[in-house]
Chains A and B, each alone.
Chain A
């Protein structure tokens, strides 16, 4: 299992760019990196997924260096509504037929203020 390490919490202000880094030193060749967002008393929501380099969608960007031992979720111009817990997951999405057990860590509590 590829273990992930994230900061416990981060604070930011509206309009700022927020970068949350996740360490996954023992990531395997077949592992993908996925980020989820969770609001209180709700289920997590998929944000973005990548394998290497950079992935961008309408919500966020995901930067993955060449060694893939870390990844950075970038949220452009955050707002109060982005206050949530962000989880980084690493795992094989079953593409090789086996599939790793994906584990949610403690996540990063992002607090956005005015």
Chain B
């Protein structure tokens, strides 16, 4: 238990669906991150939020839309995804940007 929770743990969605991934951290951290991990590939940093402000967007397609309503919660809204978007989506938080990151268990997403 790292203090970072993610829901749902597993999600299957069609290409025309809209869904959201939720991340919550109970550590009092100021920075939160979304990562994508595809099979046999390195983790890809998608978005970084610091004090609820998005500070990094690493060329992620617009079908992924992050939201950070407060420093404890982070969402990833998904719409019209492609099968190649199937992956493990990991949320992390840290005290400040790029300090030690604590990862959640991830959401295993399958796009059919």
By a beta-carbon cutoff of 8 Å, the part of chain A in contact with chain B is 34, 41-46, 49, 87, 91-94, 99-107
With A87-B43, A103-B42, A104-B35 given, can you name 14 additional A-B contacts, CB distance below 8 Å?
Answer: A34-B100, A41-B106, A42-B105, A43-B2, A43-B92, A43-B106, A46-B100, A92-B98, A93-B99, A99-B97, A99-B98, A101-B58, A102-B45, A107-B42
Q: Which residues of A contact B56 (CB under 8 A)?
A: 101
Which B69-112 residues have a C-beta within 8 angstroms of A? 88, 90-92, 96-106, 108
In Å, the complex CA distance between A103 and B46 comes to: 11
Residues A46 and B96 in contact in the complex (CB < 8 Å), given A101-B45, A104-B42: no
Closest to B9 in A: A41
Interface of A is mostly: loop
- The reply to whether B42 and A41 contact each other, CB–CB distance below 8 Å, is no
Per-residue interface assignment for chain B, residues 1 to 36, with 1 indicating a CB less than 8 Å from any chain A CB and 0 otherwise: 010100000000000000000000000000000010
Query: B: which residues have CB within 8 A of A?
Result: 2, 4, 35, 41-43, 45, 56, 58, 88, 90-92, 96-106, 108
A92 CB contacts on chain B under 8 angstroms:
98
- The distance in angstroms between the C-alpha atoms of A41 and B101, with both chains bound, is 17
A44:B98 contact, CB within 8 angstroms: no
> Which among B96, B98, B103 is the interface contact of A43 at CB below 8 angstroms?
B103
Chain B residue at minimal CB-CB distance from A34: B100
A-chain residues with CB within 8 Å of residue B105 when the two chains form the complex: 41-43
Q: Are A42 and B42 in contact (CB under 8 A)?
A: no
Q: B residues within 8 A CB of A45?
A: 2, 103
User: CA separation between A101 and B59, bound complex, in Å?
Assistant: 14
Interface centre among A43, A46, A49, A106 (most CB of B within 10 A): A43
